[in-house]
Structure 1
Amino acid sequence: MTAAIEELRESLHPKIREALDKRGFDEFSEIQMRAVPKLIRGDNAILIAPTGTGKTESALLPIFHRMLTEPHPPGFTTLYITPLRSLNRDMMNRLEWWGKELGLRISVRHGDTTQTDRRKQATHPPDLLITTPESLQAMMMGKVLRKHLAGVRFIVIDEIHELAGSKRGAQLSVGLERIMELSGEVQRIGISATVGNPDVIGQFLCGRRPYTIVQVPVAKTLDLTVRFAGESFADQTKLIEKCIDSHTSTLVFTNTRSVAEAIGHALRERGDIDVHHGSLSREMRVDAEDRFRAGLTRGMISTSSMELGIDIGQIDHVVQFNSPREVARLIQRTGRAGHQLHATSKGTVLATGFDDCIESMVIVRKAMENEPENVRPHINASDVIANQIAALAVERGEVAIQKIEEIFSRSYCFADAGPLIREVIAQMEKHYLIRTEGDMVITKARARRYLSLNLSMIADEKKSIVFDVVSRKPVGTLDESFVISWISSGAVFVARGQMWRVLDIDEDRIMVEPAKNAKGELPSWEGEQIPVPFTVAMEAGQLRRLHNFNGYHADERTVAFSEKILAEMKKNRSIVATDKVIVLEDADEGVVINLCGGHKVNEALGRVLSILLSARYGTAVGIETNAYRILLRLPKFLRAPDVDEVLCSLEPDHIEAILTLALKKTALYKWKLVQVAKKFGAIDADADYEKISISRLLDLFDGTVIEKEAFRELFFSNMDVEHARLVIQRIQGHGMETATSRLSIIGAEGLFTGKDVIVPPGEDQAIIASVKHRIDEQDIILACMHCKGWKSRTKVGRAPDTPQCPVCGARLIAVLKPYDEKMYLAMKKKNKSTEEREAEARMIRNANMVLSSGKKAIIALAGRGVGPEAAARILNTFATGDNFYREILKAERRFVQTHRFWSD
């Protein structure tokens, strides 16, 4: 043991030294050696180091030392805040041992904590409480728990990067200042594996207070490479299997739940693979974690649910399927491998196309050189201000506006909120959350109910069921925000690893069909989309331009594939879009703008161009985007040179104003306005979005702080106006050029494929087989239209080729849907209504078709929404075999698109 390690050991309380001996501990990690002395001294700190290097102990050993050596008042001495309940459980498992050894009581509190445990925490507060930001907000509403919070001396925020970039983090930053009002100043410690701008995170945690940054670069512990996995899903899963077989324990990350399930399904027969994602029940996730930890499985296929530091034991290797899209995400994920001191984290990115290969190479290079993205905290989010003013008013009964301003000014996120606070107070008063008397804010009864429904700044979203009209089965669910932002009739999106086209949108059902021909389709949305940042997309463009893969960590096959695509472009005399060239290409669907701008820049510019083109030419313009392309769906008379002219004439300073005007007409803006209004208490938390009039909303909130916040968040989260403006400035300053061309293979990649799209083999045959099976199982009624005295219920598959009435012997037999039975029974009436006479005419026409075409007519008439006219069109095509069922499917599709509700 070195002198430095011995000196550090001796600085810790004897009980801690004994516990370390029990654990067989004989050395500190670099982060521990550097952090522990500073934290014992009482410094506020941000600790940044690779996963598995003991960051948690770096923070807690000094705290344990001070808890054992310094007097402290009753109550919670330490708060350990994590972003996820699962991390709370994991941290509790890790810290229970330390609590027993040191004689400290440790407990956990979150939404699932039982009432019994909550009562125990109220009557006998633990020394260290593990909790979430939302549970902390709830605790501050209770008188007894507020008294316990007065004893807080240390606050640790784990995975601080995860909170700092969200409104949850902005809310927490004010929450910390509210605790200071109870406890006085405390020591603050933030923990993260990767942060691009640690100084901003330090200010986020501490406000204007001094802090120190203790950072151990992650790059020296990483061993990463990019491998081209092939373009077929079968090849890709084979390579994943090889990776699993060549290591003892492998964690496979995917960007979407659907792909995780698809890979898990493909490898299920092995018996040593589990799937782990947020849509699975807690029991299934915990079971998968336990099995992996015990060595019962060799591989776990996961989404971001395993990204943060849940302990699942030793991991030899991390596989990232498809580009992780963000550097920080790759560092976080691959850091799970080699989760121990001095171990190297081995990771492989499996890329599946040209964009994917180039982007993955850029992200791996940035990770290896420790260049994660910057975290951007929300600044002056006015709905967070409203939420925390309501909380302060409920907590105190009444509070001076000057005190409110003072508390907010100590938070980095609201240091310059100034007049905005009074503007928010005025808005809240309109909605009866508070009232003001002079310079005092006084709570109202409605405020407590509002807070109970708005402890979290995460927007509540209803789910829409996605319903496949081919199989007549649900595909899954989509969040309200996605439906509003992306889904429209005809849109194509990805779910469960395959592409679907929207036929119709009901209140809570989205009717879809498989987009069986992937060519010509750019998915509107690529799964649970992780946006590619501008910096990554621009370097991908630079790599295309320089065509020099030295220094990029990729195997020979990946480089060869990328070079082949670029060589093919040169051979075809196609222009490659780069960081300095934007290429506009004519396609059958419209114009593809190849721009290496990342998702949010391309979204902003795509919307602006669609608005300007629509205004200039008086035509509707569809828009679909990804990180490297904007597809504008245009009429045939508008071509690439027309779009190029509009792009080059765009003024950079007009972008935000154009978007602001145009967004007011969109469902996306309406949805965001509703969400902000709910967080303001202006609309009840359980109000139905669909039933709120957009025109009424626009009138009600026009020019208010609620409207301003809706736009602020849209520009913060959905569109990168700042870098969109930079792109236009570069065009005008000749730092970027534009060119027009016919559609190239790179431009077409976005049209023909989508990341995370897995098209099952033989998809067309599978669809037709599904239609056949469903129609064969369809219930029908055969009914005689001659004597009108016989009917028989059966299934299509059991119907005779030439049905005949057993009562009168006639062959004039109609095929009815079950819901037509009542109308048939009315046929014997003498005095029929107009509706009944029309129904009888349809049934006779129906029966004549069966008389002339037999079983084929029965099958056609059994189609969903297929009446005599549609059946006649189908039969007149003289289609046979699979083509006959394709014609039925076309008719069913037309019915869904033209009828809002089915009659069954």
Structure 2
Amino acid sequence: MSTDFEKKILESIREIFGYEELTLVQKKVLDYFRRRFYSENSYKKDLLVIAPTGSGKTLAILMPILIMILSRKDLNPIKILYITPLRALNRDLFDRLYKLFESFNLSIAIWHGDTSYNERRRIRENPPIMLITTPESLQYILINEDLKSFLYNISYVIIDEIQELIDDERGCEVSVALERLKDFSKDFMRIGLSGTIGEPDLVGKFLSGVGGRYDVIDVSSEKNFDIDVILPSSSGDNDENIYVEAIEDLLKKIEKPVLIFVNTRDEAEHLGSLLSSRGLRIYVHHGSLSKDKRLEAERKLKEGSIDAVIATSSLELGIDVGLLKNVIQVRSPRQVTKIVQRIGRSGHREKEISKGFVVTSRNIFDVAESIVIARRGEEASRRKDLLEKPLIRRNPLDVLMHQVVGILLQYKKSSKEKIMSIIKRSYCFKDLSEEILDELLRFMIDMRMIRKDQDGLLEATGRGRIYYYSTTMIVDTKKYDVINTLDKKEIGALDEEFVIRSLNPDEIFVLAGGLWRVLNIEEDKIFVEPAKKFEGKIPRWIGQQIPVERNVAREVCSLLNLVIKDLKPSKMFWEDRYYEHLREILSKEAKVSEDFELGDKKIFVEKYSDEEGYHYIFMYPCLGTRGNRALSYYIQNMIRKIYGIKTISGSTSYAVVLISDKNVDPIVLSDVLSKKISKDDLIKILEESIESSDDMRWYIVSVARKMGALEKEVSLKEAKKYADFYRDTIIWREALNEALQELFDVDVLYDFLEKIWSRNVPVIIRDRKDDLSIFARASLEVLSGFNRVFEKRFLPEDLLIEIVKRRLYEKEVELICLMCGHVFTRKIKDLQDPLTCERCGSVLLAYNKYRDERSRMIVKKMIRSLSTGNSLVKTFSSLSDEEKEILKMLRETASLIASNGRKALYVLAGTGIGPETARRILSKHNDERELLRLIIEAETKFYRTREYWEK
């Protein structure tokens, strides 16, 4: 390595980026490359660099690479391929590095989904030294004929934020793509850049592939965190106001601007609205917002011209947001890796402490989980075992299918053996069997994606080429607008995945701080009403998707057990105030006795029946999100099989909840749990449970899209149809495999069951005749979207009636005089009884509900006919059947208005209410309240049966 170039590059970095001296990771990586330059033995090793956010990882790796290629005058493009998981990171990286590359006359370019045709043509004609791309665009680059010869020159492939790719299918796509690249380029060095992560060796194996060698430079232990948990008052106003006030108070005390993280988009918008209404300068940032809005929020945050940006995971990664001093996390982030990544966005300078705050709700599980995760986050840099371990997908067949077509397009033709040799070098497919590949190839031939030539070689078809170009492992989903039928206003929007997995007519779900019941789901709209009661249902909400690992759940339950028994915890839980706060919450609970225990040493079961006749069973095994979910599916399935009892099951990271309209004896749980089965049988039972669940619909739709068997646009009904259509196919099997890996932790569940079988674990049953314990209530709160929803979960009937009354009063209606044909519009609130035509004074006013011109023309046609001396019978007979039907409808509305005045108009203006229904409502009601209640009932019935009426 040339010391001259080293000096020049260091000078440029100091000048452009303002570095006074190199950071620790930059020094270590530079020293590593110096040693590597002079050592042939280590030349073929790959490199994994682990360092905290903001430590300068990107420059750490590019600095020695630039020195190497400039020293060797090795400037044949493309020399460096730089892969990031997000297009926004591509843009941010290009903006930061352009000046550095330009200072050495080196070219740099971006190729991703937003790159224009002209820019792509320029890259093909004059490739850069460094090409920045995404996992998706890499797939196209590999088969681009214009770039193929330049890919041979690649010496370095850098995968930035590799921790974000390792545990999903996009990562497996990159893994196979690197093996494909290796097959037609000279030997290149693979470099992974990662934030703090658990089990670095697994990441190294993923990076290098089967048989690859790698080194690890890990400086994450040098980063210090100071994470404070802000505890809410255990009494007083509702939970929403308390945590909003806590954030507002915090913003007054700490240095701004601040990055505030939440776990869902809905919560980002909701909290943004609440804080903005208090006069704070707030921007929101999440993936559903337009690119311009996201860029504006990033710019304002970097400038420091606002108080805070509220973000989801969209700002977790390395997008430059300036030098922040503080980060706030609202409620538990649910994972240690998330709190480290998020709080690590503050204190960017080396040796600067990353300062953060977790503002909890009053939910006892959320408080304890926040305390445990904050403590683990502070210690994680020194103890990697406290971090969640990445889960690498095993043999994902949708990825395999996409890559097979890619290989065939890359080589024009190939044998099965050649395909197998490339694929099996990827760590994701190290266990792939020949039988599975054979079955997939047969499926692809049947789908006309590939074909065999006369020599038995495989080649891609035209359809296969279209599939390869049009498909990625990111499933594009549409949005559903959610409409409140009471006031016809849009509440918010839901992703297709949530709708297909979670919603059916009559389901209850959480959105925009309220509970809603689904009336009907149409092509792109969901019609809902405010939920009035649970009716034995567990509400669905979007925030349940981030899993809590078993070790975190166990520590949370251990902490709570100490508090229950009034035992002072050791220093592992530090700060007395946290312990005292939990004690204060529990001290108000008469339902928690000292023998109450969370976890797997005792199976503590609570039984409760509500006034609606629904029976609840709660247990607290603390197996984490995936372990408890597996247990809930297992118990539900076994109770149905053995006892023929149907239940609704739900789970949190700590509890399993069963609900039934039958009074299930909790001893049934003991029988189910004590029944010994093999692990294979357990997996079969879980597979059966998934196959009959709504979750399976989504996995089928998702996998079918990724395997080219389904178009993007699919209705909820079609999703159900396809779920049955693809049963027993390779699509079904892959969907089941995906669901098993994502939803359940089978090992954790089987370990739990084995403990019960071997230790004779006691089952303790408590019958809660009058009220739930704090842990049961907290579990329902978590299942329902936390206290901010629970405080106002059911709107009082008086308020519902007032909302409809206001909406109808404000409705503008069109009236047609059947005597003179005069047409006029008024708001209902502006009309006074008796209702008469403002031109001729007639009381025969018809309501033109849809304001259609045809109704107006029919009335005028009738009046003209009568005015020329024709009889009513002759006039009526001159109309077509359809015109007669319309006129009949108008005359019926006129009759109702003449008899009942404005009240009739009030009813007729209701959605889906025609003259017949209006007459029935008007004949039944006693007062205005009863009238409005009947209108609400009629509208609700219409939305439930709307599709049949429209047919």
Give the TM-score of the pair, scaled to structure 1. 0.90
The one-letter amino acid paired with 2:126 is H
Output the CA distance in 2 between the equivalents of 1:305 and 1:662: 33
In structure 2, relative to structure 1, the CA distance for the partners of 1:288 and 1:871 (3 Å cut) is: farther
1:290-329 aligned at under 5 Å gives the runs 290-329=299-338
**Equivalent residues in 2 for 1:612-631, closer than 5 Å:** 612-616=638-642, 618=644, 620-631=646-657
Secondary structure of 1:428's counterpart equals: helix
- The structure 2 residue matched to 1:155, chosen from 141, 157, 160, is 157
* Structure 1 contact 674–689 (Cα < 8 Å) conserved: no
Match of residue 926 from structure 2 = 878
Label 1:525 to 1:561 Cα distance change in 2 as closer, same or farther (>3 A): same
2:458 aligned with 1:411: no
Asked if the contact 2:921/2:931 (under 8 Å) is kept, the reply is no
The offset of 1:15, in angstroms, is 2.0
Counterpart amino acid of 1:214?
I
Q: Return the offset for 1:601.
A: 2.7
Determine whether 1:213 maps to 2:216.
yes
Structure 2 equivalent of residue 364 of structure 1: 374
Residue 261 of structure 1 is matched in structure 2 by 269
What is the alpha-carbon distance in structure 2 between the residues aligned to residue 768 and residue 819 of structure 1?
26
> Is the Cα contact below 8 Å between 1:538 and 1:579 reproduced in 2?
no
Deviation readout 1:233-272 (Å, 9 max, x if unpaired): 2221222122222213211111111221222222225353
Q: 1:679 pairs with 687, 693, 706, which one?
A: 706
Of 810, 829, 854, the match for 1:777: 810
Counterparts in 2 of 1:886 and 1:626: CA distance versus 1, 3 Å: farther
Q: Contact 2:29–2:217 (CA<8 Å) still a contact in 1? A: yes
Report 1:810-829 matches (<5 A): 817-818=849-850, 822=855
Aligned residues of 2:904 and 2:918 also touching (Cα < 8 A): no
Instruction: Give the residue type in structure 2 aligned to 1:721.
Output: V
Q: How many residues align?
A: 892
Q: Which whole-Å CA distance do the structure 2 matches of 1:810 and 1:798 have between them? A: 18
Percent identical across equivalent pairs? 32
Check if 1:891 corresponds to 2:938: yes
Give the deviation of 1:152 after TM superposition.
0.5
RMSD: 3.5
Shift of 1:836: 9.8
Alignment match of 1:19 (pick from 7, 12, 27): 12
1:142-173 deviations in Å (ceiling 9; x for gaps): 11112111110011111101001110000100
TM-aligned CA distance change 1:516 to 1:89, over 3 Å = farther
Letter matched to residue 256 of structure 2: T
Give 1:795 deviation, angstroms. Answer: 3.2
3-state DSSP class of the match of 1:252? strand
8 A Cα contact 1:492 1:524, kept in partner: yes
Aligned equivalent of 2:26 = 32
Contact 1:105 1:126 in 2 (8 A): yes
Q: Which amino acid aligns with 2:229?
A: V
- Contact 1:320-1:347 at 8 Å conserved across structures: yes
Deviation per CA, 1:156-215: give whole Å up to 9, x if none.
Answer: 111101001110000100101111112222111111112111111000000121111222
Q: Find 2:229's aligned residue among 226, 240, 245.
A: 226
- Change in 2 beyond 3 A, CA 1:323/1:799: same
Range with greater deviation from structure 2 (300-309 or 813-822):
813-822
Q: Please give the alpha-carbon distance, in whole angstroms, between the structure 1 residues aligned to 2:493 and 2:721.
A: 28
The structure 1 residue matched to 2:911, chosen from 851, 864, 880, is 864
- Aligned partners of 2:848 and 2:855 also within 8 Å: no
The whole-number CA distance in structure 2 between the counterparts of 1:272 and 1:789 is 55
1:440 lines up with 2:488 in the alignment: no
After the TM superposition, which of the residue ranges 671-680 and 480-489 deviates more from structure 2? 671-680
Partner of 2:468 in structure 1? Answer: 451
Instruction: Give the residue type in structure 2 aligned to 1:677.
Output: A
Give the conservation status (yes or no) of the 8 Å contact 1:255–1:756.
no
Cα distance in 1 for residues equivalent to 2:353 and 2:893: 73
Q: How far apart, in 2, do the equivalents of 1:33 and 1:414 lie?
A: 36
User: In 2, are the aligned partners of 1:583 and 1:593 still within 8 Å (CA)?
Assistant: yes
Q: Which residue of 2 aligns with 1:388?
A: 403
Range that drifts further, 150-159 or 633-642? 633-642
* Contact in 2 for aligned 1:252/1:320 (Cα 8 Å): yes
Q: Which residue number corresponds to residue 474 of structure 1?
A: 490
1:98 aligns with 2:100: yes
Is 1:241 matched with 2:248?
A: yes
SS of residue paired to 2:664: coil
CA distance in 2, matches of 1:632, 1:403: 51
Q: Greater shift after overlay, 606-615 or 179-188?
A: 606-615
Match of 1:586 in 2: 608
Which whole-Å CA distance do the structure 1 matches of 2:342 and 2:722 have between them? 46
| Cα gap change, 1:297 to 1:426, in 2 (>3 Å) | same
Residue 753 of structure 2 is aligned to residue 706 of structure 1: no
Distance in 2 between residues matched to 1:664 and 1:165, nearest whole Å: 24
Distance 1:564 1:894 in 2: 47
Q: Is the 8 A contact 1:364 1:553 kept in 2?
A: no
Corresponding residue for 2:295?
Answer: 286
The answer to whether 1:335 aligns with 2:344 is: yes
Q: Partner of 1:567 in structure 2?
A: 587
Task: Give 1:345 shift.
Answer: 0.2
Q: TM-score, normalised by structure 2?
A: 0.86
The aligned counterpart of 2:865 is: none
Q: Which amino acid counterpart does residue 305 of structure 1 have in structure 2?
A: S
Give a deviation string over 1:813-854, Cα, whole Å, max 9, x none: 776633798499599765699999999998888777656754
Kept in 2: contact 1:223–1:344 (CA 8 A): yes
Alignment equivalent of 1:801, drawn from 816, 829, 833: 833
Q: 1:622 to 1:374 in 2, by over 3 A?
A: same
Alpha carbons of 1:514 and 1:552: their partners in 2 closer, same or farther (altered >3 Å)?
farther
SS of residue matched to 2:529: strand
Q: Tell me, yes or no, if the aligned pair for 1:783 and 1:815 is still in contact at 8 Å.
A: yes
Instruction: Label 1:348 to 1:301 Cα distance change in 2 as closer, same or farther (>3 A).
Output: same
Alpha-carbon spacing, 1:148–1:872, altered in 2? closer, same or farther (3 Å)? same
TM-superposition CA deviations, 1:796-816 (whole Å, max 9, x none) = 223323335789978687766
Structure 1 residues 274 and 833: CA distance shift in structure 2, 3 A: closer
For structure 1, which segment, 111-120 or 226-235, has the greater mean C-alpha deviation from structure 2 after superposition? 226-235
The question of whether the paired residues in 2 share the 8 Å contact of 1:252 and 1:319 is answered with yes
Q: Distance in 1 between matches of 2:243 and 2:720?
A: 46
| Letter paired with 1:234 | N
**How far, CA to CA, are the matches of 2:328 and 2:207 in structure 1?**
33
* Cα separation, partners in 2 of 1:648 and 1:842, compared to 1, 3 Å: farther
Q: Which runs of 5+ in 1 are unaligned?
A: 1-7
Counterpart of 1:465 in structure 2 is 481
CA–CA distance in structure 2, aligned partners of residues 523 and 576 of structure 1: 26
Task: Flag structure 2 segments of 5+ consecutive residues without an equivalent.
Answer: 37-42, 381-385, 863-871
1:431 to 429, 432, 447: 447
SS at match of 2:53: coil
Residues 814/75 of structure 1: CA separation in 2 closer, same or farther (3 Å cut):
same
CA spacing shift, 1:629–1:811, aligned 2, 3 Å? farther
- Once structures 1 and 2 are overlaid, which stretch shifts more, 577-586 or 844-853? 844-853
2:701 touches 2:719 (CA, 8 Å); kept in 1?
A: no
Query: More deviation in 77-86 or 210-219?
Result: 210-219
Query: Do 2:222 and 2:351's aligned partners in 1 also have CA atoms closer than 8 Å?
Result: no
Q: 2:46, 2:213 within 8 Å by CA — same for their partners in 1?
A: yes
2:557 aligned with 1:541? yes
Name the SS for the 2:551 alignment partner: helix
Tell me, in whole angstroms, the C-alpha distance in 1 between the residues paired with 2:551 and 2:754.
Answer: 16
Cα distance change on mapping 1:866 and 1:221 into 2, 3 Å: same
> 1:65-214, aligned counterparts within 5 Å?
65-72=67-74, 74-207=76-209, 208-214=211-217
Bigger shift: residues 175-184 or 590-599: 590-599
Inter-partner Cα distance in structure 1 for 2:762 and 2:802: 50
